[in-house]
Chain A
């Protein structure tokens, strides 16, 4: 489905990274790799450093920390927030919604629109879409989009396919009306028939968590995990990304009447270095226009990782210049989403550490 919005803008982006950093070399004993294979995969996949939360930290903790940083630095006023949109798969609790936990912790006003959307790696454009739609309401002038994910809590310590890449993070994106804002084009795509490609089998109504769902089993590739852990069918995910994402971006550009050459940056979700380089090759986009360094520096944090990509790689440009940017997210669902929009002259575009 194609989407089009007018008179909207992003006015600031903040990424919040947990301060605990884990290095791939320090975890080698957990994985069933030889040392030489590990070193090859480090280069190919981008296994290196990742940020994870300490036990007990929640998505709302990261968001509240970031929002207080914005309040304290004059980037945002509490009473100006008309809506909170949260994209998240591992919430503070099943009940109540994490946006309302945040509302309560910060003492935000009661006439606040709160909505939590359980989307994963395609979630950054999804959150922005929701914000753009909410801004059509007369009483909503400023939407705070929160992306917060602690997927490290759901990945087996012995899953060599997922664990070395998985990080935690949160991001806050401020979205507002802008009478001079140009058109924003988007696409959203979903395929629930492939829901088991990326799944946490147990913990919900289908398979409630119990002692049995915590039992570890080892697959033919030497990965050990329980039903409580995330399972990723690596081959299927890889082929999904390389089949669907280039087509989605071509569709988006056609819909917008733009060309790849006109786009300053293709800012994608960051699954791993290998997939992103193949994606750039397939699209015939130079690597400089499609950064792929976030996994190796911070880990793949699911939906926040696209914001981390923006704040880490384009911070200065997005504050001082105006860029035509293509955003692309893709992951569990399966879901794949994109936006093409002018971004720039932001009030802030920063990465901070949670502590």
Chain B
């Protein structure tokens, strides 16, 4: 799951090394458009619909947070 998330993040913002950061939002690596794009890619990849109320910046701050979000929305870890 982590590798797939990094793959998507790199596709969206190829200029950043997401494996090296622990706070994508504070470091300005993701904005709200990037989050929307990531959610769409994750929904399609894992055949889920991430609950809209969970689409908050803090749930996209690092790889672990995104993994937790997917698990919460029914993706098997």
Contacts and interface: CB of A to CB of B under 8 A. Distances in A.
Interface of A: 33, 37, 40-41, 44-45, 160-161, 220-221, 234-235, 238-239, 241-243, 274-275, 277-279, 281-282
B44 to A, nearest CB: 11
Interface stretch (B16-24, B52-60, B64-72): B52-60
Contacts of A279: 52
B31 A242 contact: no
A52 B53 CA distance: 32
A242 B55 contact: yes
A282 B37 contact: no
Interface string B26-42: 00100111001100100
B10 interface: no
Nearest to A33: B33
B33 A37 contact: yes
B53 A235 contact: no
Contacts of B53: 239, 242-243, 282
A260 B28 CA distance: 41
B23 to A, nearest CB: 15
A160 B34 CA distance: 13
A241 B12 CA distance: 25
B37 to A, nearest CB: 5
Tell me the interface secondary structure of chain B in the complex.
helix
By secondary structure, the A interface counts as helix
Given A235-B57, A239-B55, A281 B49 contact: yes
B32 A44 contact: no
Nearest to A241: B52
A235 B5 CA distance: 21
Contacts of B37: 37, 40-41, 44
B51 interface: yes
Interface residues of B, number: 15
Contacts of B32: 161, 221, 234-235, 238
Nearest to B33: A41
Contacts of B28: 220
B49 A274 contact: no
A30 to B, nearest CB: 15
Contact of A239 (B12, B31, B49, B56): B56
Given A241-B52, A278-B49, 6 more contacts: A40-B37, A40-B40, A221-B32, A238-B32, A282-B52, A282-B53
Question: Which of B33, B37, B49, B57 has most chain A Cβ within 10 Å?
Answer: B33
Contacts of B31: 221
A243 B56 CA distance: 12
Contacts of A243: 53
Contacts of A242: 51-53, 55
B29 to A, nearest CB: 12
A238 B33 contact: no
A44 B56 contact: no
Given A41-B33, A221-B31, A234-B32, A278 B52 contact: yes
A274 B41 CA distance: 12
A33 B55 CA distance: 21
Contact of B12 (A37, A161, A221): A37
